[in-house]
Amino acid sequence: MTSLLMRGVIMTDEFGQMNNGSDQQESSNGEVLVTVSPDRMEAVMTLTQPVGDAVKVTLEDALTALKKTRVTHGVNYEAIGRHVDQEIYGVQFTCAIGEKPVDGVDGSVVYHFRAEEETKPTINEDGTVDFKNLDLIENVSNGDLLAEQVLPTEGKPGIDVQGQPVPQKPGKPAQFKPGKFTEFNEDNLQIKATTDGQVFIRDGKITVSPIYQVPANVDNTTGNIRFNGKVVVKGNVKSGFMIEAAGNIEVMGVVEGAVLKSNADIVLNRGIQGNNQAELLCKGDLIAKYIENTKINIGGSVEAECILHSIVYAKKKILIRGKKGLIVGGIVKAGEEIDAQIIGSSMGTQTKIEVGIDPNLKEKYDQAQEKLKEIVKNLQNLKQTIEILNKMNKSAPLPDSKKDMLVRSVKTYEVMKDEQIHYQEEIQTMTHQMENATKGKVHVSKIIHPGVKITIHNAVKHVYDDLAMCTLYYKEGDIAIGLYEK
Q: Per-residue pLDDT tens for 234-271? A: 999 999 999 999 999 999 999 999 999 999 999 999 99
Assess whether pLDDT exceeds 50 at residue 386. Answer: yes
Angle 77-85/59-68 helices, nearest 10 degrees? 140
**What is the mean predicted confidence (pLDDT) over 130-153?**
84
Residue 245: strand pairing partners: 227, 262
Beta strands in 151-290 (DSSP E): 155-156, 158-159, 165-166, 177-178, 182-184, 190-193, 197-202, 205-209, 211-214, 225-227, 230-233, 242-245, 249-251, 254-255, 259-262, 266-268, 271-282, 286-288
Q: What are phi and psi for residue 380, nearest 5 degrees? A: -65, -45
The identity of residue 409, as a single letter, is: S
pLDDT at 183: 95
Q: Check if the beta carbon of residue 28 is closer than 8 Å to that of residue 48.
A: no
Q: How far is CA 304 from the centre of its chain?
A: 34
Assess whether pLDDT exceeds 50 at residue 17. Answer: no
Name the DSSP letter for residue 163: S
pLDDT at 349: 94
pLDDT at 4: 41
Q: Per-residue pLDDT tens for 321-378? A: 888 999 999 999 998 999 999 999 999 999 999 998 777 777 888 888 999 999 999 9
The domain ranges of the chain are: 2-97, 108-209, 211-357, 361-435
Parallel, antiparallel or unpaired: strands 165-166 and 158-159:
antiparallel
Q: Per-residue pLDDT tens for 89-120? A: 999 999 999 999 999 999 999 999 987 755 55
Q: Per-residue pLDDT tens for 441-455? A: 999 999 999 999 999
Nearest Cα neighbor of 275 from 243, 310, 251, 250 is: 310
Name the maximum alpha-carbon separation found in the chain: 149
- Rounded Cα distance between 147 and 184, Å, is 10
Nearest Cα neighbor of 88 from 55, 135, 53, 56 is: 56
Parallel, antiparallel or unpaired: strands 139-140 and 197-202:
antiparallel
DSSP H helical ranges for 159-256: none
DSSP secondary structure of 272-291: EEEEEEEEEEESS-EEES-E
Beta strands in 48-101 (DSSP E): 93-97
Distances (CA, A) of 282 to 263, 268, 285, 298: 5, 13, 7, 5
**What is the mean predicted confidence (pLDDT) over 460-476?**
93
Q: Check if the beta carbon of residue 328 is closer than 8 Å to that of residue 351.
A: yes
pLDDT at 168: 96
First to last CA, the chain: 105
Nearest Cα neighbor of 136 from 289, 292, 243, 44 is: 243
Residue 102: strand pairing partners: 156
Q: Check if the beta carbon of residue 253 is closer than 8 Å to that of residue 233.
A: yes
Residue 88: strand pairing partners: none
Q: What are phi and psi for residue 325, nearest 5 degrees? A: 60, 45
- Rounded Cα distance between 147 and 137, Å, is 17
